[in-house]
Amino acid sequence: MPKMSSDPAAPLRRTTLHGPAMGTRWSATVDADKTVDLAVLQQDLAAAVEQVDEQMSPWKPDSDLMRLNRAPLDAWVDLPAEILEVLDCALDVHRLSAGAFDPCVGALVNAWGFGAVRDAPDAQAIRAARQTRPHATQGHLELDRPSGRARKRATLQLDLCGIAKGYAVDRMAHVLQQHGVRHALAALDGELRAVGGQASGEPWAVALERPEPGRRAVHGVIELEDLAVATSGDYRRYLEVGDARLAHTMDARRCAPVNNAVASVTVLARTCMHADAWATALLVAGPDEGLAMAQRMGLDAMFLLRRTEGLMEVGLGRFGRSSGTTPSERPIPG
- CATH code at 207? 3.10.520.10
Phi, psi of 105 (to 5 degrees): -105, 15
Distances (CA, A) of 260 to 80, 254, 263: 36, 12, 8
In this structure, the answer to whether residues 265 and 332 fall within a common structural domain is yes
Strand pairing partners for 240?
245
The answer to whether residue 148 is domain-embedded is: yes
In this structure, the answer to whether residues 208 and 333 fall within a common structural domain is yes
- CB contact burial 214-253 (16+ within 10 A = b; e otherwise): eeeeebeebebeebbbbbbbbbbebbeeeeeebbbbbbbe
- Cα separation, 275 vs 281, in Å, equals 10
Average pLDDT of span 168-182: 97
The answer to whether residue 284 is domain-embedded is: yes
Q: Look up the pTM and report it.
A: 0.91
In this structure, the answer to whether residues 216 and 145 fall within a common structural domain is no
Average pLDDT of span 97-116: 93
Average pLDDT of span 93-104: 96
Which of 135, 152, 169 corresponds to the end of one domain? Answer: 152
Q: Does residue 242 register a pLDDT over 70?
A: no
Average pLDDT of span 159-184: 97
The answer to whether residue 233 is domain-embedded is: yes
For residue 114, give its domain range: 59-152
In this structure, the answer to whether residues 143 and 219 fall within a common structural domain is no
The answer to whether residue 329 is domain-embedded is: yes
Q: Does residue 140 register a pLDDT over 60?
A: yes
- Cα separation, 170 vs 324, in Å, equals 30
Per the structure, the count of domains in the chain is 2
- Name the more confident of 36 and 23: 36
Which of 152, 171, 187 corresponds to the end of one domain? Answer: 152
